[in-house]
């Protein structure tokens, strides 16, 4: 006898004997979702089917239908194996072309699971509303495999919660409607290999009113001035907005908390009734009066306990908070140092530990943890966004977090941080600037500052006061996946671009930080992250990122530390250490992780340089230190870290930090120093007076004025490397053939750190592609991405090729990436350049090896990653603006030359550092005599302190040298040419022209 038949027979017999048979008979019959007998195929959208997914190629599980004699239902079960390092699982989606299913008549969903008894937690989610299964709301719960053999898992729909860490397209209505369901999915546990068996997924039971009716409050926390009355609005909501069939009652009482009834507030009790027939959306009001006295006090809480009958209760009881008042730290007229000292003197060790803790917003196990752990900070990691991803949703999300902080004793506001590394790049529709490598190519400090101003204005308008930027790394090896985050390979160039700090923060004394268009900046990654040795990384499959920087102390000072003194002098508010290790020659320590280097953080940064802001760790970086968690915490905090980014481990971190201080292994003085630094920046930002988002500037996000700055930056970042026969600028009367993978791809054009951490190809955010810009410039264009359209009849070809997006070590050369064009890009270049005069634009975060094709290319442009404003690229292509960009890094002939940098003893690149042709400007005539005269004038300008004149004289000399050299760039020419640009950036104009004279003679 099959087990199914036995189960059915037993169930019928039990039903006949049961006194609840009448009630059970009213339940609808179970509705099969999956029987796994082959009725649902292995297929993906838009067809109905079961399909797998995962974070990389190894993570999707392997599935099959297996004959089993012990199958709970039918003959077959679904079996699978998995070995997941990131995340993975499988989904059953209903067909996108068919109607959604109505599950609202049922109590829940159930299925048979063959237990392994291993204690693993399996996430189970259902898909509600939206256009189809991959554009629906995800509602999730989980079950634990703590049994062996087959067991039927029953999950009431009331157990499902809206996913806050990830939604594929954003919220539909945040209500589990159950009337438009698209299927289910299982997320399997990561970390260890496993197998499973599943059978008989079905809907069961009869829905009760509490499934479709719920009671909510308009907030979880109700701050009120002492003596004021808190108004709590209680709302009845139903699925589909239908009136309730049965009465709903809400009994309430004030009880517990830190406020004293009769002294701090008047107790409130009672019952709210929503009779049968009450419409969805009906609201009742509870009022809690507070009482005023003359005593200065910290905040006090009044929990409001709600008991609900006939509907689903709120996820948590709300609480009224009598605001802190009368204490010196709340007095905005006092100096910041006095406010900090007063507040610090009142705080407990637990409250101080909370201020030193930063969690990822999606990792909060409960919103109330913000108050429970006195958290000082939250962040959005790359791609961690609200749903929908709009300015209003960002502000609403952050305000909700700030509201939770009001339930703490001293109501210390959160400081929320994001990686806005080239504009507010996590926000769809924001103005996305060129990445730093392109900004370095502009050689325009004023423009760098304006890009910072735009970024700050857009970030602060969404409620975010803190930006993890700029990166002050000095990139010394273009195999590094973060090369594009650097302004260039020369520390002098990096220093010159640090005007961006003023763009972000305003004046160096911090007086502008409270403004609604300024944010706290972060100098990162201290120190030497751009100098790691290829092959030294021990992080996963990374090859150079997070590796070891092997330098002498002199090299460290001259190359990697120099930009940080500039940042400190400019008043940068925070500094983030690097994941990388520092191996200083002769110190006898070997490689030591930067997060553990007290000599560099306490000694150099805070001591010698005088940095008075706070130091924030990188993402979970202390986990990379040797030793256990206690050792990690002790080592990093004693090394000088003030706030620790522990995205998912905030509970463990705070407990461990408190334990280490209690045991005397971290001094209370060190804790007080850290918390003082953090509080100082919060006061400077005006967060105590204005913790919530000021969205008055939200209308300017992505505005024409902001995009005009990004367009100028894109134009000035373009570096013209070759221009044989003056093929550029293009003329509007020319017939232009456009090809290449990056011509019409906003995702490739913006690169990594755009909407998501790694970025993505395709239409990821609003913007103008290079092709769009060329079309708007008025040219007569034919576009064919793969150059398959007929080539004849065109005057010139423009082939836009380059890299696809990546970020951090994922983009390291040797980690699935190289410096070569893709086969498709090479084919497009070859086809177009063989048929007509051609221009090749390379859209990339670093130089690409193009030497073998250089002879066939008439004009070559390094476009870097120009951001959302492709119009800026078209501006220089069509001569609306001149090409003025210069190489911020050396362009190598081959990968074997790497690393290659200005100042190297052996230096023979394809194009030297500082190279950049111009258009629309007549190149000065002259030779050696002219250069000598320019050198004399440059020395005079240097003595007189007239920097603009000195720079102009060096530029003239550079253009003369480039004109003579053409494409015959020898090592003898390249070395003094590159040195001249470094000298220019350090203000030695006479010496710069002298070097250019040397290059001229060599040419």
Q: Which of 152-166, 746-760, 862-876, 926-940 has the lowest mean pLDDT?
A: 152-166
Determine the pLDDT at residue 191: 83
* Burial of 482 from C-beta contacts in 10 A (0-12 / 13-18 / 19+): buried
The residues facing 288 across adjacent strands are 230
The confidence score (pLDDT) of residue 170 equals 62
Identify the pLDDT of residue 22.
Answer: 40
DSSP secondary structure letter of residue 695:
G
| Concatenated DSSP letters of 38-55 | SSS-B--TTSSEEEEEES
Torsion of Cα atoms, 482 then 483 then 485 then 491, to 10°: 130
Determine the angle formed by the axes of helices 971-985 and 947-965, rounding to 10 degrees.
Answer: 170
Q: Which structure tokens are listed for 849? A: 């090896």
Share of the chain above pLDDT 70, in %: 97
Mean pLDDT along residues 807-827: 97
pLDDT at 438 over 60: yes
As a whole number, mean pLDDT of residues 221-247 equals: 93
Q: How confident is the model at residue 4 (pLDDT cuts 50, 70, 90)?
A: very low
> Is there a contact between 916 and 887 (Cβ–Cβ < 8 Å)?
yes
348 contact partners, CB below 8 Å, separation of at least 6: none
pLDDT above 90 for 885: yes
- Render pLDDT for 642-683 as a digit per residue (tens, 0 to 9): 999 999 999 999 999 999 999 999 999 999 999 999 999 999
Rounded CA-CA distance 136/132 in Å is 6
> So what's the pLDDT on residue 19?
41
Cα–Cα distance measured from residue 139 to residue 977, given in angstroms and rounded to the nearest whole number: 61
808 catalytic residue (yes or no)? yes
Q: Which residues of 774-802 are buried (b: 16+ CB within 10 A; e: fewer)?
A: bbebebebebbbebeeebeebebbbbbbb
Dihedral sign of CA atoms 171, 176, 177, 179 in order: positive
719-738 pLDDT, tens digit per residue, is 999 999 999 999 999 999 99
Predicted confidence at residue 6, as pLDDT, reads 33
User: 989-1002 vs 947-965: helix axis angle to the nearest 10?
Assistant: 10
- Starting at the earlier edge strand, list the strands of the sheet with 522-526: 522-526, 574-577, 614-615
Identify which of 61, 59, 41 has the alpha carbon closest to the alpha carbon of residue 50.
Answer: 41
Is the CB of residue 61 less than 8 Å from the CB of residue 87?
no
Q: State the average pLDDT over residues 64-91.
A: 95
pLDDT at 865 over 80: yes
**Count of Cβ atoms closer than 10 Å to residue 809 Cβ:** 21
Looking at residues 859-874, what average pLDDT do you find? Answer: 98
What would the pLDDT profile of 344-353 be if each residue is shown by its tens digit? 999 999 999 9
Helix (H) or strand (E) holding 198: strand 194-204
Q: Which of 444, 485, 618, 745 is labelled catalytic?
A: 618
Q: What is the pLDDT of residues 953-974, one digit of tens each?
A: 999 999 999 999 999 999 999 9
The reported pLDDT for the residue numbered 16 is 38
* 108: phi then psi, degrees, rounded to nearest 5: -175, -165
The phi-psi region of residue 793 (left if phi > 0; otherwise alpha if psi is between -120 and 50; otherwise beta) is: left
**CA dist 894 → 195, 433, 513, 850, 890 (Å):** 47, 29, 46, 9, 11
Residue showing tokens 């755009």: 754
Distance in angstroms (rounded) separating the CA atoms of residues 774 and 763: 18
- At residue 373, the 3 state secondary structure works out as coil
Q: Is the torsion defined by CA of 990, 993, 994, 995 positive or negative?
A: positive
Whether the per-residue pLDDT at 709 is higher than 80: the answer is yes
How far, CA to CA in Å, does 286 sit from each of 336, 371, 615? Answer: 39, 23, 45
Query: φ and ψ at 269, to 5 degrees?
Result: -140, 160
Q: Determine the pLDDT at residue 171.
A: 66
Residue 24 has pLDDT above 50, yes or no: no
Q: Is residue 681 within 8 Å of residue 574, measured between CB atoms?
A: yes
Q: 417: which strand partners?
A: 379, 466
Closest C-alpha among 467, 473, 448, 435 to residue 560: 473
Instruction: Determine the pLDDT at residue 7.
Output: 34
CA distances to 746, 766, 776 from 870, rounded to whole Å, are 8, 11, 10
- Indicate which residue of 93, 489, 808, 942 is catalytic: 808
Query: Residue 860: what pLDDT?
Result: 98
- Pairing of β 796-802 and β 31-34: unpaired
**CB environment 364-401: b (16+ within 10 A), e (fewer):** beebbbbbbbbbbbbbbbbbbbbbebbbebbbebbebb
Residues facing residue 516 across a β-bridge: none
Q: What is the mean pLDDT of the chain?
A: 95
Q: Which of these, 387, 463, 393, 459, lies nearest to 430 by C-alpha position?
A: 459
Q: What's the average model confidence in pLDDT over 794-804?
A: 98
- Note the pLDDT of residue 55: 82
- For residue 739, give both structure tokens: 């090809």
Could you give the percent of the chain with pLDDT greater than 90? Answer: 90
Annotated active-site residue 618? The verdict is: yes
Quote the pLDDT of residue 2.
36
Q: For the residues 560-587, what does the mean pLDDT come to?
A: 98
Contact 751, 805 (CB under 8 A): yes
Estimate the share of the chain in helix, then strand, then coil, as percent rounded to the nearest 5: 30, 25, 45
Contact assessment for residue 725 and residue 837, using Cβ atoms and an 8 Å cutoff: yes
Q: Which two tokens stand for residue 348?
A: 């407990």
The whole-angstrom separation of Cα 194 and Cα 81 is 6
Res 8 pLDDT > 60? no
Distance CA(163)–CA(143), nearest Å, equals 16
Please enumerate in sequence order all residues whose Cβ is within 8 A of that of 297, keeping only pairs 6 or more positions apart, or say none: 226, 322, 324, 325, 326, 327
Which residue, chain included where needed, has tokens 């009142």? 346
Cα(962)–Cα(964) distance, integer angstroms: 5
Token pair for 245: 């069939």
Span 533-548, mean pLDDT? Answer: 97
* Confidence bin at 385 (pLDDT 50/70/90): very high
User: pLDDT of 391-417, one tens digit each?
Assistant: 999 999 999 999 999 999 999 999 999
Q: Is 909 exposed, middle or buried (0-12, 13-18, 19+ CB in 10 A)?
A: buried
User: What pLDDT does residue 176 have?
Assistant: 84
Query: What pLDDT does 208 receive?
Result: 80
Q: How many residues does the chain have?
A: 1003
């Amino acid at each position: 006898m099959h087990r199914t038949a036995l189960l059915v027979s037993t169930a019928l017999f039990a039903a006949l004997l049961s006194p609840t048979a009448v009630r059970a008979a009213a339940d609808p019959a179970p509705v099969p979702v999956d029987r796994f007998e082959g009725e649902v195929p292995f297929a993906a959208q838009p067809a109905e089917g079961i399909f797998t997914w995962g974070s990389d190629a190894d993570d999707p599980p392997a599935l099959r239908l297996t004959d089993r004699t012990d199958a709970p239902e039918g003959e077959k079960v679904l079996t699978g194996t998995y070995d997941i390092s990131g995340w993975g699982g499988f989904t059953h989606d209903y067909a996108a072309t068919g109607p959604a299913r109505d599950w609202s008549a049922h109590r829940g969903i159930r299925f048979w699971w063959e237990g392994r008894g291993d204690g693993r937690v399996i996430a189970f989610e259902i898909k509600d509303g939206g256009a189809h299964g991959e554009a629906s709301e995800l509602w999730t719960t989980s079950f634990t495999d703590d049994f062996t053999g087959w067991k039927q898992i029953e999950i009431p729909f009331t157990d499902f919660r809206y996913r806050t860490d990830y939604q594929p397209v954003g919220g539909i209505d945040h209500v589990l409607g159950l009337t438009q369901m698209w299927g289910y999915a299982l997320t399997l546990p990561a970390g260890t290999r496993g197998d499973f068996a599943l059978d008989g997924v079905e809907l069961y039971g009869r829905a009760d009113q509490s499934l479709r009716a719920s009671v909510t409050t308009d907030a979880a926390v109700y701050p009120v001035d002492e003596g004021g009355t808190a108004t709590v609005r209680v709302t009845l909501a139903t699925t589909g907005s239908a009136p309730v069939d049965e009465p709903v009652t809400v009994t309430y009482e004030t009880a517990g908390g830190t406020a004293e009834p009769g002294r701090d507030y008047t107790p409130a009790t009672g019952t709210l009734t929503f009779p049968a027939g009450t419409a969805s959306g009906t609201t009742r009001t509870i009022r809690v009066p507070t009482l005023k006295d003359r005593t200065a006090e910290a905040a006090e809480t009044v929990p409001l306990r709600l008991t609900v009958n006939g509907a689903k209760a709120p996820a948590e009881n709300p609480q009224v908070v009598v605001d802190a008042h009368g204490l010196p730290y709340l007095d905005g007229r006092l100096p910041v140092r006095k406010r900090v000292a007063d507040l610090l003197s009142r705080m407990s060790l637990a409250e101080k530990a909370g201020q030193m803790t930063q969690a990822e917003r999606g990792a909060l196990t409960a919103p109330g943890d913000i108050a429970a752990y006195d958290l000082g900070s939250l962040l959005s990691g790359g791609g961690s966004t609200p749903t929908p991803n709009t300015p209003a949703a960002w502000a609403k999300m952050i305000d909700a977090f700030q509201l939770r902080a009001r339930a703490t004793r001293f109501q210390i506001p959160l400081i929320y941080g994001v990686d806005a590394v080239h504009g507010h790049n996590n926000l769809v529709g924001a103005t996305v600037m060129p990445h730093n490598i392109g900004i370095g190519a502009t050689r325009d400090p004023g423009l760098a500052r304006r890009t910072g101003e735009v970024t700050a204005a857009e970030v602060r308008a969404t409620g975010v006061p803190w930006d993890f930027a700029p990166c002050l790394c000095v990139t010394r090896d273009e195999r590094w996946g973060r090369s594009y985050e650097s302004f260039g390979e020369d520390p002098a160039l990096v220093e010159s671009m640090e005007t961006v700090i003023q763009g972000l923060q305003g004046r160096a004394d911090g007086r502008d930080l409270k403004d609604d268009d300024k944010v706290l900046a972060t100098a990162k990654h201290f120190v030497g992250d751009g100098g790691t040795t290829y092959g030294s990384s021990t992080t996963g499959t990374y090859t150079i990122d997070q590796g070891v920087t092997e330098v002498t102390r002199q090299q460290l000072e001259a190359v990697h530390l120099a930009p940080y003194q500039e940042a400190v002098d400019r008043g940068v508010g925070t500094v983030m250490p690097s994941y990388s290790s520092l191996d200083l020659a002769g110190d006898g320590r070997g490689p030591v992780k930067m997060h553990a280097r007290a000599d560099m953080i306490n000694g150099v940064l805070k001591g010698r340089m005088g940095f008075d802001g706070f130091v924030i760790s990188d993402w979970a970086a202390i986990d990379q230190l040797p030793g256990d968690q206690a050792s990690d915490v002790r080592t990093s905090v004693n090394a000088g870290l003030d706030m620790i980014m522990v995205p998912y481990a905030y509970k463990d971190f705070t407990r461990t930090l408190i334990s280490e201080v209690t045991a005397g292994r971290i001094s209370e003085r060190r804790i007080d120093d850290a918390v003082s630094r953090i509080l100082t920046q919060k006061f400077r930002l005006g967060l105590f007076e204005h913790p919530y988002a000021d969205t008055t500037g939200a209308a300017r996000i992505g505005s024409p004025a902001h995009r005009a700055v990004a367009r100028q930056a894109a134009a000035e970042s373009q570096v013209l490397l070759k221009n044989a026969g003056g093929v550029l600028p293009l003329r509007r009367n020319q017939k232009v053939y456009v090809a290449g993978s990056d011509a019409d791809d906003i995702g490739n054009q913006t690169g990594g750190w755009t909407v998501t951490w790694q970025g993505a190809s395709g239409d990821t955010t609003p913007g103008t592609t290079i092709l769009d810009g060329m079309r708007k410039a008025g040219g007569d264009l034919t576009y064919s991405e793969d150059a398959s359209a007929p080539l004849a009849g065109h005057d010139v070809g423009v082939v836009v090729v380059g890299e696809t997006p990546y970020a951090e070590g994922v983009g390291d050369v040797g980690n699935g990436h190289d410096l070569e064009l893709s086969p498709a890009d090479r084919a497009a270049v070859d086809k177009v350049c063989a048929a007509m005069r051609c221009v090749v634009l390379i859209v990339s975060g670093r130089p690409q090896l193009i030497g073998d094709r250089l002879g066939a290319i008439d004009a070559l442009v390094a476009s870097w990653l120009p951001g959302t404003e492709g119009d800026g690229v078209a501006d220089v292509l069509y001569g609306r603006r001149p090409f003025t960009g210069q190489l911020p890094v050396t362009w190598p002939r081959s990968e074997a030359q790497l690393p290659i940098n200005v100042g190297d003893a052996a230096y023979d690149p394809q194009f030297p550092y500082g190279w950049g042709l111009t258009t629309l400007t007549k190149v000065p005539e002259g030779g050696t005599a002219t250069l000598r005269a320019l050198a004399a004038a440059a020395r005079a300008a240097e003595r007189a302190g007239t920097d603009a004149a000195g720079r102009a004289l060096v530029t003239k000399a550079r253009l003369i040298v480039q004109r003579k050299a053409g494409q015959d760039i020898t090592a003898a020419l390249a070395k003094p040419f590159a040195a001249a640009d470094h000298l220019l950036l350090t203000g030695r104009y006479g010496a710069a022209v002298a070097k250019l004279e040397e290059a001229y003679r060599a040419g």
